Each structure stands twice: as C-alpha cells, then as structure tokens.
Amino acid sequence: MVKKMLVVLLGILVLAAGSASAQVVTGEAAPDFTLTDTKGVAHRLSGLKGRVVLLEWSNPDCPFVKKFYASKSIQQWQADYVSRGVVWLSINSSAAGKQGYYSPAELDGILVAAGFAGTAALLDPDGKVGRLYGAQTTPHIYVIDAQQKLVYQGAIDSKASVDAADIATATNYAAAALDAVLAGKPVTVQATKSYGCSVKY
C-alpha cells in the first residue's frame, strides 16, 4: 500500500515538473520569436543571425532591477556591448495589472529617463516568450551567439542582493559570456541560477 502511494506521489511530482515553464537548453539553438518594442518596431530573433544577442528579462519596479539601473551600471554595460556589435534586448513579460506592466509609451518614458542604452525594449505581456525561454526572474539573462546557439543563461552576476555596492565585487556572468563569445572563445560558465523578483506572468 505504501509502495503504491509512493508511486502515485512520484507520478504527481513528475507531472508537476513537466507542467512548469519550458526551459531552454544551453548549447542548443535559441528558440525563435518575434516581439514588438516600445516604439512599435517588430524584432525577430532569426533576423539577427550573425549577431551576438543578449536577452535581459526586466521589470522597472523590481528592486533587483533597480539596483543595476539606479547605479547606472547596466546602462554602461549596454552602451559598451552595443558599441561592440551586440544586440541587447530588454524584455518585459509583466502581464496587465501585474507589477511592472506599462503601456509601450509609459515603458519607453521610464527607460529614456533611466538612460537605457540597449538596442531595444520588447513587450511580452502575454508571457509567451518568457515561458518559451523559462524566464523566472528579473533580471534573467540569456546570451546567444552569432549562430543563434544559446551559450549562457542565468544570473547577471554572482551576488544575489539589492545592494548596489555589491556590483563592483560580484562576478559579472553576463559580461564574461559576452566577452568570450566576442573573442571567439568558449563560455566557461554556461548556466547559473538566476536571482531577482519573479517574472509577473
């Protein structure tokens, strides 16, 4: 009887795991998608083949995201890597009525005021792309090489805090992955556990 109950319980756990958000696999092709940015321009991942792409899941109201934007750290990284040919796409998957949801014009205003220096900020209010990639937190970073292979996914850095003072002493996983890809070298740390606010699907 006990063995039967354990088998049933195990089956329930497996089903629960299978029903969770999709999780992309590092080393495999990044799933294609099309999203519209805050200015109404559509961006398709497959149309960026030949370019290195960074996806940054973001929510302007999340304290973990605010840490990087209020300190101007992430804007400096964006400007640096965009100048080196990287396509930096910020993605907001907050659903209507949830924390971080804004109209395109409102979000554009927030990002302009913050000094956003990425390529574009994309809107994913139905969460399709966020779930496709298994984005769990803001921030959550994905680095895609020029052949559209996912080479890194996870945390932006190694210190899971909201204290901006920690940025200087943290290991910047996103930067390390981008530097390796741009130099034609393998990415050493290919996946980490992301940290931050939960994505507000």
For residue 86, give the amino acid letter: V
Encode pLDDT of 142-166 as tens digits.
Answer: 999 999 999 999 999 999 999 999 9
The DSSP bridge partners found for residue 141 are 56, 154
Q: Give the C-alpha separation, 108 to 190, whole Å.
A: 31
* Helix (H), strand (E), coil (C) string for 82-122: HHCCCEEEEEECCCCCCCCCCCHHHHHHHHHHHCCCCCEEE
pLDDT tens for residues 5-19?
333 333 333 333 333
pTM: 0.89
Write the CB contacts of 179 (distance below 8 Å, at least 6 apart in sequence).
Answer: none
pLDDT value of position 119 = 98
Q: Which of 121, 68, 93 is nearest to 199 (CA)?
A: 93
- Of 15, 35, 33, the residue nearest 24 (C-alpha): 33
In this structure, what token pair is assigned to residue 60? 């302007």
Domain parsing of the chain, residue ranges:
26-198
Instruction: Kindly tell me if the per-residue pLDDT of 1 is higher than 50.
Output: no
Lookup: tokens for 61? 């109201």
- Is the N-terminal amide bond of 60 cis, ω within 30° of 0? no
CA–CA distance, 77 with 178 (Å, rounded to integer)? 10
> What distance, in Å, lies between the first and last C-alpha atoms of the chain?
40
| Cβ contact 93:61 at 8 Å | no
What are 89's strand-pairing partners? 55, 120
Q: What is the mean pLDDT of residues 110-137?
A: 98
Q: Does domain 26-198 sit in CATH 3.40.30.10? A: yes
Side chain identity at residue 16, one-letter code:
A
